[in-house]
Structure 1
């Protein structure tokens, strides 16, 4: 019948045509890999910065709570502002201001003047891009400055 013609596929005819990747394909693959690695590195670096910020904030909170606990015990409960260094770049400020004063009867003839004080403890520390701070506010009841009637 009809003679069979043998057909060779184009890749077999030119073996070098499909033997590997072109230079352009390799360059595109390297660019994609570099972008992916850059994004991963940026994310990891951002996570490390966030962890450092959280650690410093937790330390500042602990120091501020400690200073707040001294008000009325180690620090007199009277109108004043005190500041100091805590070390490791931390600084603190305690501000005590009177809020209200009232007379409370403690006996038949004596009266003790009580005062409500606003207490503000601020802890500062240096951070990349500026200074950070944390503020704790509370109120404490104590005797009014000047004593009794």
Structure 2
């Protein structure tokens, strides 16, 4: 008897099919990781911009009722700063009229388009004190 050694055609085809499926799954994993890294970078920039705008409120941007908006990073990030007097809830038992300072609610919204179907948005809100005039 003549016994041949090696793999049959069916075994080779099955091995290539398993290899192709495995490579496809690995490529999807790596591309998803790259996409997540890009989105994370956009959120990091948006958080830094929002925190910077909050810090500027009351120093560079006067605390007064109204809105200001602008663009950053080659018109990628649109920001909006809303400022309004804040009145404490009557049930809190705080009479803000007697205080020597005025409380302002400052809200910062940063929006950007990441090239997908939906735009993304990040928002920060805080309270700031201003001297009464």
Q: TM-score, normalised by structure 1?
A: 0.77
Residue 14 of structure 1 aligns with which residue? 2
The DSSP-based 3-state class of the residue aligned with 2:97 is: strand
Question: Which is higher, the Rg of structure 1 or of structure 2?
Answer: 1
Higher relative contact order (CA 8 A, sep 6+): 2
Residue 133 of structure 1 aligns with which residue? 121
CA distance in 2, matches of 1:137, 1:81: 14
Q: CA deviation at 1:103?
A: 2.5
Moved over 4 A (4+): none
Compute the RMSD of aligned alpha carbons. Answer: 1.4
Unmatched segments (≥5 aa) in structure 1:
1-12, 105-111
Structure 1 residue 91 corresponds to structure 2 residue 78: yes
In structure 1, which of residues 72, 79, 84 is the aligned counterpart of residue 65 of structure 2? 79
Unmatched segments (≥5 aa) in structure 2:
88-95
The structure that is strand-richer by fraction is: 1
CA distance in 1, matches of 2:8, 2:58: 78
Residue 97 of structure 2 aligns with which residue? 102
Residue 23 of structure 2 aligns with which residue? 37
Q: CA deviation at 1:87?
A: 2.1
